[in-house]
């Protein structure tokens, strides 16, 4: 069974157009991009393929595609070019919050996000560490919130325009979320020296007196309420609710988060081409397909697939031998990207699930 089951993904026109861009533009440059940075032309090529419209409701210029197509496309991209995938799969992050706020200002962003005139990104995961660690602090002021502090991780610095921002109103013990303008001079960035997906332009952002106007505040929620749901909502449910906040999760297919399957599948396909008769590679490939057929309840599905991705991409390096460690070889790019996935979205329940999976305590 495959994540593609139920929909003829590869013949879908949106997927075919996307796959052409991946094969012709992104994949050939992936190893170089991993060492340098994702160029704007990569994002523009995906814009021209209509990819960004998939994240936006039709009434705002978006295009409806089956969720299986979205997941398959994102997995294809992660397997071909992890740095670009790390940026563009977060493009839709501001969409749901913009709809949730429902102000003229936030809704006006949606057609521009759909058209790729604006590129979206996220910088809110750091708030889950409060109060043990302070990141960004929101202080109520006339007309909105003043936001000060540091966002530890934001992918796409220098390319993204609209940030789904999180901060803590410490006096009220509430999280404040909103949409920020990354061109504001009160937001500065420093690209981090990552050893994986370096090309993703993942940066530490510093906010010094940034004004988040009320019109761009998307949610204010007690810390305890937000933490109670953190890490427990499936990836595809979250993405579907961005496009249609009224969607019933029971009506959605059970689909894995993008990334681990794409990395593992591409790595194992390459390894099996090199050593088609190796039974252990066949066994690992079968394990991957059984795992993706799942599902396990969140966050365990995510943790299991991420752990398999580490083993699968490592196996592909072994299949390549020493050449797999050369800086121009995609095998080592994928292997390092699989490790990167281990620290993505580390809600406490996700971290515990990862430990349990690595300790082989989840079947």
239 has a pLDDT exceeding 60: no
Quote the number of domains for the chain: 3
**Residues above pLDDT 70, as percent of the chain:** 91
Highest mean pLDDT among 235-239, 336-340, 356-360: 336-340
237 has a pLDDT exceeding 70: no
Q: How confident is the model at residue 363 (pLDDT cuts 50, 70, 90)?
A: very low
348 has a pLDDT exceeding 70: yes
For the chain, what is the mean pLDDT? 91
Q: Does residue 28 belong to any structural domain of this protein?
A: yes
180 has a pLDDT exceeding 80: yes
Q: Are residues 97 and 146 in the same domain?
A: no
Average pLDDT over residues 328-333: 96
Q: Does residue 2 belong to any structural domain of this protein?
A: no
Q: How confident is the model at residue 43 (pLDDT cuts 50, 70, 90)?
A: very high
Q: Are residues 159 and 222 in the same domain?
A: yes
**Closest residue by Cα to residue 43 from 192, 154, 160, 155:** 160
Q: Are residues 219 and 128 in the same domain?
A: yes
Q: Are residues 148 and 106 in the same domain?
A: no
Task: Answer with the residue of higher pLDDT: 247 or 11.
Answer: 11
Q: What is the pLDDT of residue 256?
A: 83
Q: Are residues 124 and 109 in the same domain?
A: no
Angle value at C-alpha 10, between 8 and 13, nearest 5 degrees: 95
Q: How confident is the model at residue 243 (pLDDT cuts 50, 70, 90)?
A: low
Q: Does residue 303 belong to any structural domain of this protein?
A: yes
Q: Are residues 107 and 242 in the same domain?
A: yes
- Kindly report, residue by residue over 279-300, the tens digit of the pLDDT: 999 999 999 999 998 788 878 8
Class of residue 248 by CB neighbours under 10 A (exposed 0-12, middle 13-18, buried 19+) = exposed
Last residue of a domain, one of 198, 221, 248: 248
- Kindly report, residue by residue over 14-30, the tens digit of the pLDDT: 999 999 999 999 999 99
Q: What is the pLDDT of residue 4?
A: 44
Q: What is the pLDDT of residue 127?
A: 86
Q: Are residues 289 and 222 in the same domain?
A: no
Contacts 24+ apart (CB under 8 A), 68-71: 68/3, 68/4, 68/5, 68/6, 68/7, 68/9, 68/253, 68/255, 69/7, 69/9, 69/12, 69/14, 69/15, 70/239, 71/3, 71/236, 71/255, 71/256, 71/258
Q: Does residue 254 belong to any structural domain of this protein?
A: no
Q: Are residues 130 and 107 in the same domain?
A: no
Q: Are residues 83 and 129 in the same domain?
A: no
Q: How confident is the model at residue 234 (pLDDT cuts 50, 70, 90)?
A: low
Last residue of a domain, one of 217, 248, 279: 248
Q: Does residue 255 belong to any structural domain of this protein?
A: no
Q: What CATH number does residue 15 fall under?
A: 1.10.540.10
Q: Which of 190-204, 232-246, 316-330 has the weakest average pLDDT?
A: 232-246
Q: Are residues 240 and 109 in the same domain?
A: yes
Provide the sign of the torsion angle of the four alpha carbons 352, 234, 220, 141, taken in this order: positive
Q: Are residues 216 and 288 in the same domain?
A: no
Q: What is the pLDDT of residue 244?
A: 59
Domain of 68? 9-113+236-248
Q: What CATH number does residue 141 fall under?
A: 2.40.110.10
Q: Does residue 363 belong to any structural domain of this protein?
A: no
**Closest residue by Cα to residue 233 from 350, 339, 341, 151:** 350
User: 3-state SS string over the chain?
Assistant: CCCCCCCCHHHCHHHHHHHHHHHHHHHHHHHHHHHCCCCHHHHHHHHHCCHHHHHCCHHHCCCCCCHHHHHHHHHHHHHHCHHHHHHHCCCCCCHHHHHHHCCHHHHCHHHHHHHCCCCEEEECHHHHHCCCCCCEEEEEECCEEEEEEEEEEECCCCCCCEEEEEEEECCCCEEEEEEEECCCCCEEEEECCCCCCHHHCCEEEEEEEEEEEHHHEEEEEEHHHHHHHCCCCCHHHHHHHHHCCCCCHHHCCCCCCCCHHHHHHHHHHHHHHHCCCCHHHHHHHHHHHHHHHCCCCCCHHHHHHHHHHHHHHHHHHHHHHHHHHCCCCHHHHHHHHHHHHCCCCCCHHHHHHHHHHHCCCCC
How far apart are the C-alpha atoms of 45 and 138, rounded to whole Å?
37
Q: What is the pLDDT of residue 142?
A: 97
- Kindly report, residue by residue over 67-123, the tens digit of the pLDDT: 889 999 999 999 999 999 999 999 999 999 999 999 999 999 999 999 999 999 999
Q: Does residue 4 belong to any structural domain of this protein?
A: no
Q: Are residues 215 and 296 in the same domain?
A: no
């Amino acid at each position: 069974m495959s994540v593609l089951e139920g929909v003829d993904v590869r013949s879908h026109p949106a997927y075919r157009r996307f796959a052409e861009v991946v094969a012709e533009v992104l994949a050939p440059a992936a190893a170089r991009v991993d060492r340098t940075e994702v160029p704007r032309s990569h994002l523009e090529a995906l814009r021209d393929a209509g990819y960004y419209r998939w994240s936006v409701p039709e009434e705002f210029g978006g295009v409806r595609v089956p969720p299986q197509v979205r997941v398959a496309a994102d997995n294809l991209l992660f397997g071909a070019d992890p740095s670009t995938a790390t940026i563009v799969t977060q493009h839709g992050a501001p969409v749901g919050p913009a709809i949730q706020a429902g102000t003229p200002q936030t809704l006006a962003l949606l057609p521009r996000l759909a058209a790729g005139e604006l590129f979206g990104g996220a910088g809110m995961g750091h708030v889950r560490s409060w109060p043990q660690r302070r990141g960004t602090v929101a202080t109520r002021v006339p007309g909105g919130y003043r936001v000060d502090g540091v966002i530890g991780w934001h992918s796409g610095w220098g390319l993204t325009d609209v940030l789904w921002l999180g901060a803590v109103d410490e006096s009220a013990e509430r999280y404040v979320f909103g949409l920020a303008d990354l061109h504001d001079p009160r937001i500065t960035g420093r690209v981090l020296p990552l050893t994986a997906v370096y090309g993703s332009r993942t940066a530490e952002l510093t906010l010094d007196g940034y004004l988040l106007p009320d019109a761009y505040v998307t949610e204010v929620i007690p810390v305890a309420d937000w933490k109670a749901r953190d890490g427990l909502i499936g990836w595809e449910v979250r993405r579907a609710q961005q496009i249609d906040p009224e969607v019933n999760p029971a009506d959605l297919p059970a689909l894995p988060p993008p990334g681990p399957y794409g990395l593992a599948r591409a790595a194992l396909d390459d390894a099996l081409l090199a050593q088609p008769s190796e039974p252990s590679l066949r066994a690992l490939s079968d394990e991957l397909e059984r795992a993706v057929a799942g599902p396990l309840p969140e966050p365990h599905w995510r943790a299991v697939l991420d752990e398999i991705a580490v083993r699968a991409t490592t196996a592909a390096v072994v299949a390549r031998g020493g050449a797999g460690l050369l800086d121009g070889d995609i095998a080592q790019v994928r292997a390092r990207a699989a490790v990167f996935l281990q620290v993505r979205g580390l809600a406490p329940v996700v971290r515990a699930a990862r430990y349990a999976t690595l300790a082989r305590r989840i079947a």
